[in-house]
Chains A and B, each alone.
Chain A
Amino acid sequence: MKTELMSANYAAARAVMSARVEVVAAYPITPATTIPEQIALLNETGQWPGQFIRVESEHSAMFACTGASSTGARTFTATSSNGLLLMDEALHWAAAARLPIVLANINRSVSPSWNIHVTHDDSMSKATTGWIHFYVSSVDEFYHTIIQAFKLAEDERVLMPVMINADGFVLSHTLSTYDYLEPEEVDKFLPPYKPPHWVMDPENPVSHGNIVFPEYYMEFRYAMHEGTHNALKVYEEVEREYKKLFGKYFGGPIDCYRCDDAEVVFTSQGSVAAEAKDAIDELREEGYKVGNARMRMIRPFPVDRIRELGSRVKGFASFDRSVSYGYGGPVAHDIRATMYNTKHRPIIKSYIGGLGGRDMTVSDIKEVILDTVKAVENGETGPEETWHDLR
């Protein structure tokens, strides 16, 4: 292991090397572009020996990944925003074909208005595809989660693709240190991928994607649901092993900070969740019992962890950098729905903000948390949602 200084995108390209990915098919889009660009460079200079497929669109990129993964190759791609949306059909296909593809999505606002900064609408709109969804908060976490994602996706109990989301520019283009692992080191953790379910092999041909009529279609969908569900349990094992081998642990599906005796916890996805630790420290100094629950995984949804937290806190300040239009904050609503089937009734406040890359500073986060603290004190749930810093 050696420490290097790089942007999240450059580090992601190194994760492809470390995990001995065999095929990458990608199409450039800001702010994900430097990922395929770096992979192409590593390929050209002989540092990464895999196949880089240049395609004419993201739709083709994901279908090329689907084909490659079907042959048993470890496969990766990266995209962003409109690119992810163009992949849509292929994302559903990859999940139902049970292909352990790993995708790095650099969160960027969807157009119009044209904006290349972070909003989570791109990935949130893909939450029902079957893909496992991670959100990361640092360059180091991005790099290591990509390596872990292959182990998780390729596990026989899972066999579902994984999407790892990182905030555009805030992470993608910001330099930070991370700990690089040589492929020889990762070998101990990640053996070569051998498809346990089905493979495209000219020596032993099969036809895939056949017609399945109403008699069995539902059973295949149930199997997908089980696969994604199993990812919670399997990821626990993956992280435990990773910690033992490399000393890295990022906190499971929800990374809790000062939550043990907290009365109000702040939940969020992506880089805001890292910034929030400073807000928590300042508020603790001011005497507030608050904690930070950084949502790393939103599909499968960590129901048990939320219920455990919800059984002992008085309030959630749930922050979404995304909107389900006409309904509200997607993760805030997931938390509300998760708590409904328990006897605990913490106040669950929903906040929407930081859209289009609008800055969420420590003082913004403190303001949000204090609003929930006040609601808890007054025992009033208040509005359905609050748009923070709306002009």
Chain B
Amino acid sequence: MPVTSYSKPVIGATGKTGSWRTFTPKIDYDECSRCRTCWLHCPEAVISLDEDGTPHIDLDYCKGCGCCAEVCPKKCIAMIREGFDEEESP
């Protein structure tokens, strides 16, 4: 055991933190303009981009904060409550 608590940064050092999520972002790719605003703002840096700018969210670590949905200029990211589908999500 070390004498004080520290860890080397590795992916998922504290487990899959996406399990804490209450709301899940869902991108409507038909509407998405590939502007990268969501990628820039995600505080967890879990949005990656294809070469053409198409965003992909890593749901293993997305904490569901909704920042991406808030900043999206096209308003094409929906936040869907876990366990509900898009229509019935409160």
Contacts and interface: CB of A to CB of B under 8 A. Distances in A.
A197 B6 CA distance: 10
Nearest to A199: B6
A210 B7 CA distance: 8
Interface residues on A, range: 20 to 34
Interface string A179-221: 0000000000000000001100000011111111000100110
Contact of A207 (B1, B2, B3, B6): B6
Contacts of A198: 2-4, 6
Nearest to A198: B6
Interface in A218-244: 219-220, 223-224, 227
A206 B1 contact: no
Interface string B22-42: 000000000000000000000
Contact of B3 (A206, A209, A211, A227): A227
B6 A210 contact: yes
Interface in B1-27: 1-9, 14
A345 B51 CA distance: 82
A118 interface: no
Interface residues of B, number: 10
Interface of B is mostly: loop
B4 A98 contact: yes
A125 B1 CA distance: 30
A159 B14 CA distance: 27
B19 to A, nearest CB: 16
A206 B14 contact: no
Contacts of A211: 14
A220 B1 CA distance: 9
B23 to A, nearest CB: 23
Contact of A97 (B1, B4, B8, B14): B4
Contacts of B3: 98, 159, 197-198, 220, 223-224, 227
Nearest to B1: A219
A96 interface: yes
Contacts of A223: 1, 3-4
Contacts of A219: 1
A391 to B, nearest CB: 49
A97 B6 CA distance: 9
A211 B6 CA distance: 9
A96 B6 contact: no
A71 to B, nearest CB: 13
Q: Pick the 4 closest A-B CB pairs, nearest first.
A: A208-B6, A206-B6, A98-B4, A212-B5
Interface of A: 96-98, 159, 197-198, 205-212, 216, 219-220, 223-224, 227
19 contacts: A96-B4, A97-B4, A159-B3, A197-B4, A198-B3, A206-B6, A206-B8, A207-B9, A208-B5, A209-B5, A209-B6, A210-B6, A210-B7, A211-B14, A216-B5, A223-B3, A223-B4, A224-B3, A227-B3
